[in-house]
Structure 1
Amino acid sequence: MTVQISPEIPSKFSRRAREVINQLQTEHASHFTPRAVYDGGAILYSTHRDIPTQVFTVQFSPRLLHQVRFTPVKQVDPNALRSAVANKGRIDISVVTLLQLIVRQAPSIRHVNAVRARSFYSNKGERDIGGGLVAWHGFFQSIRPTMNKIVINIDTTTAPMYKPGPLIQVAVEFLTDGGNTQPKNIRYLEALTPDSVDWRKLERFLKGVRITTTLPSASKWKRGTGKSIKGLVSQAGLYEFNKDGRPMTVQQYLREQYNTRTNYPRMFGIKLNKDAVIPAEYCEILLGQFFKKNLVESQRTAMVKMSTRKPIDRLNTIQGAVAGQDQLFDYASSDFMQAVGMQVSTTPITIQGQVIPSPEIQFKKGTPSLRIREGKWNVRGDIQLALPGRIFSWAVIYFDQNASRPVLEGFITKLHGNLLQRGIAINPAYVPGPNFPIQIGNPHQVSQSLESLLAQASSSDKNSGRSIPPTIIVVILPSSAAQIKKQVKYWGTVTKSVATQCVKAGKYEKANDQYLNNVALKINAKIGGVNCYVPLTEKLLTKTIVVGCDVSHPAPSVDNRPSIASLVASVDDKATVYTAQIQVQEPHVEIIQNLRDMVWEAIKDYGQKYNFKQTLDHLIVFRDGVSEGEYDQVSQQEIGQIEVALKRLAAEAKMPQLPKLTFIIVTKRHHVRFFPQSPQGADSSGNCLPGLVVDKELNQGRDFYLQSHSGIIGTSRPSHYIVLRNDMNWSIQQIQELSYYLCHVYASATRAVSFPAPVYYADLVCAKAEYHIDPSQCDQLDNASTAVSGGEFPLKEWQRAVRPSGIRRSLYFL
């Protein structure tokens, strides 16, 4: 039945709605025994058919009450529910949704302070991650129908939360740690003005956060969800309004009404609506509020450390929550589950998998083959790259003002030797020495410094007289230099079409062979070389383009930035050399809006590589980032766009038939984890062996899980592959093997990665979209987008601002 709560509670306050329905069921137990299942929104499921249609009143305080009305809609067939639990016959998705609600209901009520989607969290063992945030541990649970049973997928999870407590303290911590370097204090907050950068940062950080207050007038809304911050007000104590026809400041009102003195009248305050303004000193942030914006690097690092657990520790934590003394999931005691006769085994299921043998990794022909152990290999001194590039000229610029020139020159000499050792040919005129082009850069004039180096390091073509820029520029950065790097990458990627390789202070000074090898691998890939390949892929990929595509979105609460769509496409039969494209589209739109044209550009790049003398027989697309509910949309819209591009190719090339299409979704954001049954089935980190495939007991016929990488720290996450199109009629084993092989050709790694290289590359292109935007325009674009918030998004302005790479036919994004 539908639920109507008045006054209406916005969907983002589902916690308050749950409190209302929970109290209602307690006060009117005769109508709600056993208790009904509530989704936190507009739907309630009950085994009672005679719940009155009267208006129920739920009162928390004399001034805080809600009225609730129920309207019957339809009846769920009890047999369908029992059949689903017993897994008999076809499973209705609506029944699975109901089962999901039933298992979530008890923990959602018990942990009402922090429930999000299929997870619940606790502040027990919380960790401060800086910037006014803390991290909470939690648990995820989800019903999953499989081929022969229904299982509950349970996993640990971690979420960043706003730090509860005094607003002033949180504001000081945010402005100190949230991407700034100088400590801030209360005096700094008093001096903040609306035209300052930190004011805008703080307002974005706090907007929408629920607060309570220490003012006695706020007793009517201190309970529950509090009030949401709509914005900030400058000098809140001096803020003037009309009171009974006469002007009055906030501090005068507080003194007269409550005999309360404002300690910081010139500090900012918060705006609750058009009329209500409260000084920050009287505000406290409520417990249990999720932070949904982007974390800074130090916060991400802290989150990773907190969430990283060895496989055995993770499994023990889950088993303790399910069957231990705490019984956090309440499976045994939940009256919601008992009402439908639902029971859950607390023993983890045992499944069968298989391990794909590691493939041979080919470097330069004639060099010794490398031994792969647990998905890893070591590029020794006698190993040369499969196809080394050529460096006609190169140069170095350093923006690290603390760099030691002798140490820097020593690094350059070692890097030069390593490049030669890997087989990369370097013009003898550019051996490090007195005449080598190395220059100090001005961090405040990045582009001008790079232009100066370019003029010094460019050479002249003997035949045409045309100026030839360096093949690669090595850029030495301070240890923390995000803004400098953005300017360097925009200059090289867009403005001058010159490959750049950045190196951070703190790493190059003690560069060992492994570090030098890693830099050399990136450089070779950026100048058009091939580091290694898997020979087994050549037969599978003859006359084939392998595509990786992805869409990245701004944080859920951010609507002034676009979503980024990327596509990378191979132009060789080893799937090692790729071209890259990037486009922007409306915020939070998952379907790639212009995929047809992006695929067509990829086909043209492939043709140019082979001088249009080789036909295209097969297109393999690995699509990243699609959720389960979007599979149908992707099938209809994105595959439809690809077919249009293939039909155009067939028509223009007068091909007798269309190239065949294989379309595979690769999902990384899920909570399925595998734990080895014995040490013999584990790698040195305690995870399952790389190459593990599970394609039966957790699957539905067209999908499989592949754990392609060796564990480093924590518990490895397998990738989930869903085959939506298979024109080649490949066996599932062939698709598994190809996917696994492509995990071994990620250019800057000497180990199998967690998903195929083209997917990794597409993800990188999205992540580095900011390198395609002039850094001087970013604030202007953000402000323009914010100004039209609620109206039409200025997509055309963003499309003009995001520039294509002039070196997109190389792996410039590594």
Structure 2
Amino acid sequence: MQGNRTVTRVHTNHFQITSLPKDNFYQYDVRIEPDAFKARSREIVTKVQAENPRYFTPRAIYDGGKIAFSTNGGIPTTPFVVQLNPRMAPFQVCFTGTGAINLSNHAACVKDGRVIASVINLLQLIVRQAPAMRHMWAVRARSFYTGQGERTLGGGLVAWNGFFQSVRPTINRIMINIDTTTTVMYEAASLLDSASNFLQMSQRDLERLNLESPNGKKLSRFLKKVRITIDLPTCQKWSKMGKPIAALVPQAGLYEFSKDGRPTTVQQHLHEASNTRVQHPRMFGVRIGQSAVFPAEFCSIVPGQFYKRILSEEQRTQLVGAATKRPAAKLDAINKAVSGTGQLFDYANSDFLRSIGMVVSSTPLTIQGEVIAPPQIIYNTPMTIRDGAWNVMGKTRLSQPVNIRAWGVIVFDPKADQRSGRAQKFIGCLHHNLNERGILVHPEYTPGSQKFHMMWADPVRWEQALNEIADKASYEDSTGKHKPNIIIVFLPASAAQLKKQIKYWMTAKRNIATQCMRSGKWEPCKDQYLNNVVLKINAKIGGANSYVAITEKILNNTMVVGCDVSHPPPSVETRPSISSVVASVDSRACFYTSKTQVQPPHVEMIQNLRQMIWDASEDYANYHKGRGAVPRLDHIIVFRDGVSEGEYERVATEEIGQIDDVLDRLGKVMPRPKLTFIVVTKRHHVRFFPMQGQPTNKSGNCPPGLVIDSELGSGNDFYLQSHSGLIGTSRPSHYIVLRNDMSWTPRQIQELCYYLCHVYASATRSVSIPAPVYYADVCMINVNIYLTC
């Protein structure tokens, strides 16, 4: 396993900190009382520093919560008193010293070969402080966003562009990783316009909206806690940050309350207090705080408010379009933000950075990488790979096709009506392609034959229709009645919920595989689409489409495992997390067994990995016994997805510890198998950009097979860009080797990972992470369907 490689050079989105601050930094615990104004804590501390230059020159670095750093070790412990405006009670701000950090000596920042976490946290705050003090942008975690070039997503939402920045330690250097990013914001618009856009209804219909109706409740959820300003003379002293909506109020202009001991309405009060006329007294309004009610016509949404709920399919499509940037455009945007005229990051001009002696390079890091040659893909014959893809056309047969004894077709797509004949034509083309790929349909069930059933049904009666087609498509022989191999389903263009119901019902209730096809995709009857459907069908009914030639040697007596955990949304505590393990049972890594389980919400470590791996090893043994072979398991390779940097040590202790227990147990009946454990993740912001004159793919990205294993890593990790990105800038996968009992070289591990990105059953191109990890994710999606149906 020593594939051919070519050397290449790439730009990265990393900028080196060439000079660290030269002073000591003293850490302080910050306490603000009263503590009910967390949203304004930065404003409060900024005013404290402005009013007390004796102690805050240069300015202290504040994280917006409870930590501050200053080069002044003598900030008094007595409270600073500050008042934001005359109508508010003053705040008391206390600074309590907790320690010191010296950044001037690089060796002092490193412990056991790693940069100390407190040093990274301090540097992170420093680089965030410079642009934050200058621009006052909307900030989320390590990203900040501007309203420049915002893009409408519909439904009262917009996409804002921004930048991510993170201090990253590498071998002997400290870098800043910078990336473009995009997020979703509430549109800064009048409240009525926002409500109209969200519900897709006119203001006249809004005036008749019942807040207890489904649409009314949707609007209430959408607007709850959104900050607004009020365009009324009595509210002119409000902060630009506005006030959060506590609740929606029906017919706000007619809302009654007591004033000077007598009943009055909001519209009467506004007329008397400021000669303001309410145009739409029957329109809904908002309640601010405990009792203040304002008509919606006077309200506007404050810009820069993050939207955290689920987007519609159309909004997601719009967001992807807003976020997508080709490699050259992304790198150009990053370079301009760092060193262009705008100086968004303010690294070079910031008096704050200059005062502490910190210098950041204005040019991105350029490093050397290698491109691994693609492996040989085998169907019935070897395939030619170009730019990470291959074409299943002509006389290509699948490596292990499975014949179809019986199947059926159901059409829920109203555009594919029976009289048009379009669906029938597609099934005829599909039958032809199945035969070409080596999948033979029993003569009694060929399209047009008496026992072949194709029916049209109303999506409303999906359950009855599915049972009907499942019964009609079944067959009988001398051993009894048998279910069909697969049911083909034609769906409308937008039918996410219907698809979930079909998958749940046919899998959980009838144990029959389905192949769904969405309107707008299947109609042209293109060979590429048809062949992709054939690949999916063969995999679902137990066949193998292809394999990588060299894996049979590498993976002999080896089980390859993919593990992942998915979680419910952060605010949901009633739905469990789901952990999934898939494991190969053959030496080609084509056939897998799967194990899934539920565990407490938001628990990242796999709770019962020990039993899941043991069960997988038994399935591995039974697979080989069923083929007359003596099972032998020498090596287990585990790919663990979904782990953040801060959890590597826990994974090594808890999850690898559970696997070791299984290996010990297996070691009592055979030589103890060896373990390779690799964390793989795409949740990072590292990107690579081809230098001029270096190889690229059609979209301008680095070619598939690019591996970077020096200068950005820590010695036991590497980045692999295994796929050929079609749009935007490709995201490489980051691999961290936590265990290597086989003592494989980095090159061997890199090539294994790359080869396993070529065995995803339903793809005719290399994918971005090894196939077992994808399969684990598919298992979790299916379980989520069961939990939500």
Report the secondary structure of 2:688's partner residue: coil
Give the C-alpha shift of residue 82 in structure 1.
5.4
Q: What is the match of residue 552 of structure 2?
A: 538
Structure 2 distance, partners of 1:187, 1:640, is: 64
Cα–Cα, structure 1 residues 375 and 342, in superposed 2: closer, same or farther, change >3 Å?
same
Report the secondary structure of 1:455's partner residue: helix
Cα–Cα, structure 1 residues 600 and 226, in superposed 2: closer, same or farther, change >3 Å?
farther
Give the C-alpha shift of residue 291 in structure 1.
1.4
Give the C-alpha shift of residue 56 in structure 1.
2.5
Give the C-alpha shift of residue 299 in structure 1.
1.5
Q: 1:564 aligns with which of 558, 572, 578?
A: 578
Counterpart contact for 1:664–1:723, Cα < 8 Å: yes
Relative contact order, higher structure (CA 8 A, sep 6+): 2
One-letter identity of the residue aligned with 1:603? S
Structure 1 distance, partners of 2:734, 2:44, is: 39
Structure 2 distance, partners of 1:10, 1:411, is: 62
Cα–Cα, structure 1 residues 569 and 28, in superposed 2: closer, same or farther, change >3 Å?
same
Counterpart contact for 1:292–1:556, Cα < 8 Å: no
Deviations 1:168-214 (A, max 9, x none): 221221223xxxxxxx2224434444543333333332233222222
Q: What is the match of residue 643 of structure 1?
A: 660
Q: What is the match of residue 6 of structure 1?
A: 33
Q: What is the match of residue 162 of structure 1?
A: 186
Q: 2:364 aligns with which of 341, 348, 351?
A: 348
Q: 2:227 aligns with which of 202, 210, 219?
A: 210
Structure 2 distance, partners of 1:605, 1:279, is: 65
Cα–Cα, structure 1 residues 279 and 682, in superposed 2: closer, same or farther, change >3 Å?
same
Give the C-alpha shift of residue 28 in structure 1.
2.4
Counterpart contact for 1:363–1:383, Cα < 8 Å: yes
Give the C-alpha shift of residue 461 in structure 1.
3.3
Give the C-alpha shift of residue 558 in structure 1.
4.8
In the alignment, does 2:206 pair up with 1:189?
Answer: yes
TM-score between both structures, scaled by the size of structure 2: 0.91
Q: 1:631 aligns with which of 648, 652, 674?
A: 648
Give the C-alpha shift of residue 359 in structure 1.
0.4
Please show how residues 55-134 of structure 1 align to structure 2 within 5 Å: 55-64=79-88, 66-79=90-103, 83=107, 91-134=115-158
Report the secondary structure of 1:503's partner residue: strand
Which region of structure 1 is more displaced relative to structure 2, 547-556 or 399-408? 547-556
Which region of structure 1 is more displaced relative to structure 2, 208-217 or 399-408? 208-217
Q: 1:719 aligns with which of 713, 733, 736?
A: 733
Deviations 1:26-60 (A, max 9, x none): 23223211111111111111111222333333333
Counterpart contact for 1:34–1:335, Cα < 8 Å: no
Counterpart contact for 1:710–1:752, Cα < 8 Å: yes
Please show how residues 306-705 of structure 1 align to structure 2 within 5 Å: 306-364=322-380, 367=381, 369-405=382-418, 406-433=421-448, 435=450, 436-463=452-479, 465=480, 467-559=481-573, 561-611=575-625, 613-650=630-667, 654-705=668-719
Report the secondary structure of 2:41's partner residue: helix
One-letter identity of the residue aligned with 1:4? R
Structure 1 distance, partners of 2:533, 2:578, is: 27
Give the C-alpha shift of residue 259 in structure 1.
4.6
Structure 1 distance, partners of 2:689, 2:203, is: 50
Structure 1 distance, partners of 2:700, 2:211, is: 53
Deviations 1:527-567 (A, max 9, x none): 11111111211222222222212223344455554433322
Counterpart contact for 2:579–2:606, Cα < 8 Å: yes
Cα–Cα, structure 1 residues 661 and 281, in superposed 2: closer, same or farther, change >3 Å?
farther
Deviations 1:396-420 (A, max 9, x none): 1001122143111110000000011
Give the C-alpha shift of residue 260 in structure 1.
4.1
Give the C-alpha shift of residue 102 in structure 1.
0.8
Q: What is the match of residue 13 of structure 2?
A: none
Give the C-alpha shift of residue 516 in structure 1.
0.4
Cα–Cα, structure 1 residues 260 and 657, in superposed 2: closer, same or farther, change >3 Å?
farther
Q: What is the RMSD computed on CA atoms of the aligned residues?
A: 2.5
One-letter identity of the residue aligned with 1:423? G
Give the C-alpha shift of residue 568 in structure 1.
2.1
One-letter identity of the residue aligned with 1:384? R
Structure 2 distance, partners of 1:767, 1:753, is: 18
Report the secondary structure of 2:488's partner residue: strand
Report the secondary structure of 1:315's partner residue: helix
Deviations 1:695-751 (A, max 9, x none): 111010111000111121211111000111222222222211111001001111111
Structure 2 distance, partners of 1:120, 1:739, is: 34
Cα–Cα, structure 1 residues 90 and 425, in superposed 2: closer, same or farther, change >3 Å?
closer
How many aligned residue pairs are there?
A: 756
Counterpart contact for 2:158–2:187, Cα < 8 Å: yes
Give the C-alpha shift of residue 496 in structure 1.
0.8
Structure 1 distance, partners of 2:670, 2:146, is: 62
Counterpart contact for 2:102–2:109, Cα < 8 Å: no
Cα–Cα, structure 1 residues 420 and 80, in superposed 2: closer, same or farther, change >3 Å?
same
Q: What is the match of residue 17 of structure 2?
A: none
Structure 2 distance, partners of 1:31, 1:526, is: 69
Report the secondary structure of 1:460's partner residue: strand
Deviations 1:418-450 (A, max 9, x none): 011011121111111153200011211111111
